Amino acid sequence: MTMGVSGEVLIGGKWVAGNGSPVAVENPATGEIVAELNAVSKEQLEVAVTAARAAFPAWAALPPVARAALLRRTGDLVMERAADMARTMTIEQGKPLNEAHGEIEKLAQTFWFYAEEAVRVHGEIIPNDSIEFQSLVVREPIGVVAAISPWNYPAELIGWKLAAGLAAGCTLVIKPPELTPFTGLAIGRCLTDAGLPDGVVNILAGKGRDIGQALIEHPQIDKIAFTGSNAVGIKIQQSLSSIKRLSLELGGNCPLVVTSSADLDAAVKGAARRSFRNMGQICIAINRIYVARDLYEPFLERLAAAADKLVIANGLDNPAADLGAMASADPLTKTKDHLADGLARGARLIAGGAAPEGDAFTRGHFFRPTVLADCTPDMKVMSEETFGPLVGVAPFDDLAEAVELANASLHGLAAYVYAKHMDEMRYLTARLDFGSVAVNNVDAGIINAPYGGRKQSGVGYEHGREGLLEYFNLKHVRIRYDHPEGIA
């Protein structure tokens, strides 16, 4: 099965084979090894970082309009190649082809968005206490960025870092996920074909504990942009041997609050979509649901029915399926562990709980959308990020209790609310301690608004103007002007 792109890595403007150990890529829908590429060696990583450092001065000095033009061309090429790139993603990640195509479209939109933002970076003029002085605040690109991204959205999550960093004038070394490297390499082909100067972007294949860790510790890396688990995010902070800027987008364990005034059908539809889309492998997936007691049983009945109706399939065989395979055995194992823990602690299984039946599901990493009712805070599904097709549900008696339950988490990435009454919306949105709160919808992130977490869900922002500004340093320039000669 062809991946649609070679396994060569991008170093200093050249596409070359890695000199390190082989990395096998599995199709998670079939369990088959479909491709292999070589990781980069330590020497190749050094060449890549050196190339990024050497390319930085010229790229940073390039007029923003020129950087914007390259981003725009890259977005155009992504759209032209969307069908092939989506197929590559489905093969190595498992999501249905139509959903993969949608992700590639969002990648193109990310390049276009930051092409527009690149020319809108402004400084400030700050008054002084004397007219002889003027203070200028200037934004300058940070330098060389290491971008480390996960496998659940292998195009978008690279794109957020890549497009914003390039727009700001930074150069980058990108480490795509080990499970889904070919999607990242396909993005690199779009960049080089769009005319990217040598060394501005370097894309390295390999294991996170080897390549990612080496980039984190490298003295010539000025910023780390990482999306992934809390455990790895904490390890990144602990392992820094020099001062670096950090952008960390970490775990979710996101809550949904359904109030007594909610549109029940809309709430169920939203819950099913955001709990199970991409097999629950989303940082902003709904992991736990709190429902007003008077709606609790009707909500459970309808959510169980909605979960059972979702179509699961090999994403290539059925491009329009609701769900594909999970990306690997690890998230499936964690999902089963959270399910077993909930059942052992008294939860009630009302949907799913096993792999789908049929020969098509015997070898891949499949699991039915699963709903646990009567959950308590001590259960893993309610206190940890599952990152799988499992959601826990519990009742609440008043809004104060709902807020307490929702906020009783180390995570603070996103929360969701379904309510019709404005007073309920205002009360909840003001008190939910999360970086994003979506009301009567489950799309907490859009490209032109800031996206980031609180508490243990990370530091810094992606998306929007704020995501671009993460890639700049501020410089204060204070100037004293002499009075012009010959003027009284």
Catalytic residues: 249, 283
Q: Give the SS3 label for residue 246.
A: strand
- The answer to whether 382 and 407 have CB atoms below 8 angstroms apart is no
Handedness of CA 367, 369, 374, 380 (dihedral sign): positive
d(CA 184, CA 172): 13
CA distance 407 to 257: 11
For residue 47, what are its two tokens? 């060449």
| 246: CB partners within 8 A, 6+ apart | 223, 224, 226, 236, 237, 459, 460
DSSP characters over 149-196 = --SSSTTHHHHHHHHHHHHHT-EEEEE--SSSHHHHHHHHHHHHHTTP
Residue whose tokens read 């894309």: 203
> Is-contact 355 364, C-beta < 8 A?
no
Residue 311: φ, ψ to 5° = -90, 125
Cβ neighbors of 289 (< 8 A, separation 6 or more) are: 255, 256, 258, 271, 275, 299, 303, 391, 392, 393, 394
Displacement of CA 18 from its chain's centroid (Å): 26
Residues 289, 393: Cα–Cα separation, whole Å = 5
> What residues pair up with 394 in beta bridges, in sequence order?
290
For residue 139 the two structure tokens come to 């934004």
